[in-house]
Structure 1
């Protein structure tokens, strides 16, 4: 029966001091989610629930994942040791930051921000997830200016530096194209 695949609200509590606001506790059967797929988990829970038009306002405050489901996630393809090896940094924390402001800079100014951070002592910088290929900063220009900043800071500091380039795009083919371009530039971290 399809009933076994329904989400179940197992508790409702009023929000203290707020009229007509409640905390609902909802559980879903694990069979609704593909093993090891964070994307499926969040699109199922967040996408479907937040798209429910009968609710005027909704906020996800907590998400508890059962250990049995957590064990289906294999984790990243490599860990901190690979990052340390790429950057030749051992015996201390790695220092990095996300470039801010995340949106609005030209590719040249973005590259300048990367350079200042790396030259100033950070081991790596990274693109914010919102940085893709907007009209004010196309991905190819960003990659070129970031690579220039990375190599210039390495030459001046004598240290290996890194930058996590966001290569996401509308299609898998475009993402692959961007990753290949970054690799061809010699950027150590994509």
Structure 2
């Protein structure tokens, strides 16, 4: 009798061991609430609000409906864990875990999943989604990166070093020959990957079709001279339908890579590109606008999800995100958490290539390498174009910095016999905003 009653139980609660991890998405939240509201009560209200219920009981929310579709609180942990008596305080801090049945979500997709695990909860005061444990059977619905780290390095014929990228600066310019000329110079100097800035897409002043034609001519010339391939990620960010059209047009014109501002376009638009079998080139994701969702310690969604897990699910081969070494006010701990989400084993998904960027200078190369190994893209903009001897020398300086690390020689020492590197070291001591 007792077992039967347990099976029919409809309260939105369970032990962690009482839910099948292959049938539920487990969401973890950080929340600060008034002292009169305990976390477990909040969690139960949230579980029903985000699954079967609303603010008041409704007749058709039957026990049978709840049994099939209700989310369940599987943990409510106060921080610190008061268990003898509660001190006088106006607020209490909790870590909540809620299990959401994947039967509620239909075909695996990010929009409905996010509406479920965040949705109206985002208006419940100080509450932030920290992490999601995703069932393997749900993630199987995502193809992830086509190339990822191994495919990208194979394409570029690189084995034991990072990939070197340059963002064309100025960010926005016309005519497109300005960018093509700069792309030739940095590629000839040793850059593997040339990227549009996130602010330049398909505008009348500088059309995607014109850039692809001019840039590919310039990069083919540079690649022949240096004996190494070079990719160009042309920015096709636009309305969803036009983004897909621009991808097809760019590839028809000979583009060998693409770029999309993944947050503003949307994860699923990016995913449509990445999972399209006719799109057979790497796709770079730029994550501008993302800080609006993760920057607050009390609201939104953690950066490890916004910059890490979701971009990998959507199929990003390369992802640009803030580095803690340069101009971005981005914590080292957060940066490392995002790197783990992009690169650690995640079911069948290939690893996304991390591209730390934002004021990167040659002195940062050894530190990045020491922190995350050699499987990354060095995202460099101004430190190449503003090199005192020009952008080609700026690119060469970074290749020399890579050589120095490979040989185990300190940068300053290597710069004594390598002019371009020495000049770069002497020009920039830091790019941090102070």
Instruction: Name the residue aligned to 1:178.
Output: 246
> Could you say what secondary structure the match of 1:25 adopts?
strand
> Could you say what secondary structure the match of 2:76 adopts?
strand
**Cα distance in 1 between the residues matched to 2:180 and 2:79:** 47
Instruction: Name the residue aligned to 2:77.
Output: 13
* TM-score, normalising length: structure 1: 0.66
**Contact 1:98/1:128, CA 8 A, preserved across alignment:** no
Residue 162, structure 1, aligned to residue 234, structure 2? no
Instruction: Name the residue aligned to 2:105.
Output: 33
**Cα distance in 1 between the residues matched to 2:215 and 2:106:** 37
Q: Deviations over 1:61-102 (max 9, x none)?
A: 211112232334344445666545644x1544561447388x
> Could you say what secondary structure the match of 1:43 adopts?
helix
* TM-score, normalising length: structure 2: 0.34
Instruction: Name the residue aligned to 1:70.
Output: 139
**Cα distance in 1 between the residues matched to 2:73 and 2:211:** 47
**Contact 1:104/1:136, CA 8 A, preserved across alignment:** no
**Cα distance in 2 between the residues matched to 1:78 and 1:53:** 35
User: How much does 1:129 deviate?
Assistant: 6.8
Instruction: Name the residue aligned to 1:95.
Output: 163
**Contact 2:193/2:230, CA 8 A, preserved across alignment:** yes
User: How much does 1:28 deviate?
Assistant: 0.9
The count of aligned residue pairs is 183
Residue 23, structure 1, aligned to residue 23, structure 2? no
**Cα distance in 2 between the residues matched to 1:98 and 1:33:** 40
Q: CA RMSD in A?
A: 4.0
**Cα distance in 2 between the residues matched to 1:129 and 1:34:** 33
User: How much does 1:143 deviate?
Assistant: 4.1
Unaligned residue ranges in structure 1 (runs of 5+): none
**Cα distance in 2 between the residues matched to 1:171 and 1:100:** 25
Instruction: Name the residue aligned to 2:44.
Output: none
Residue 44, structure 1, aligned to residue 112, structure 2? yes
**Contact 1:99/1:113, CA 8 A, preserved across alignment:** no
Compare the two structures and name the one with the higher strand fraction. Answer: 2
Compared with structure 1, are the counterparts of its residues 52 and 160 closer, same or farther at alpha carbon in structure 2 (3 Å cutoff)?
same
Aligned equivalent of 1:122, options 166, 191, 200: 191
